[in-house]
Amino acid sequence: MILPGALRPEESDEVTADLIARAIAVLRKTFRYVVVDLGIAIDDSTLAVLDLTQHVIVVTAPELSAVKSAADAIDILRKLGTPDDRLTVVLNNRSAKSAVMKAAVERTLKRAVNVEVAFDGSKPDEAALTGTILSLTDTRSEITRGVQALADILEEKHGKGRALPLRLDAPASAAVEGDC
């Protein structure tokens, strides 16, 4: 199930931290994992989600600005008290040749990359255009392998649950486990 935030920009003020917390409470009753795409801004709504979060996934591309933003996000998460074992870093290679090598990303982030998603050509764009789920239509794709590696990490840390609806194209996501 995917629930959008505001459908139109003028509705964004109506999506409050309290509304998000109530929505997560309702979703927890049905789903073992609730995955929230937090985007890049840290505001009251983001902090409300982080207060409920047991695991944070930071997704970055191997590009200078993206890695810098990820490093800043990790620093903020640490200051908010997020322990390293509840933080997973995903390196999403969106092009065939990376501008920044994995080792440089890890040095900048001051931690290891937990999952690296290799470049998968035009497959993600084609799946988006046709409305297909790549992990179901191409079980050998690089994105499918990356999603499976991420699911394995979460399963190892938090136990088996229902299928994890993950987005790999966002700067940061938070997995809120049902039994917080």
| pLDDT tens-digit profile, the chain (180 residues) | 677 777 788 888 888 889 988 999 999 899 888 888 887 788 888 888 898 888 999 999 999 999 999 999 999 999 999 999 999 999 999 999 999 999 999 999 999 999 999 999 999 999 999 999 988 999 999 999 999 999 999 989 887 654 444 444 444 445 554 443
In terms of Cα–Cα distance, which of 153, 170, 156 is closest to 39?
Answer: 170
Cα torsion angle, 157, 158, 161, 163, sign: negative
Domain edges within the chain:
55-174
Tell me the CATH architecture of domain 55-174. Answer: 3-Layer(aba) Sandwich (3.40)
DSSP code per residue over 66-124 = HHHHHHHHHHHHHHTT--GGGEEEEEE--SSS-SS-HHHHHHHHTS--SEEE---TTHH
- CA angle (123, 124, 129) in 5-degree steps: 95
State the DSSP code for 164.
P
pTM (predicted TM-score)? 0.81
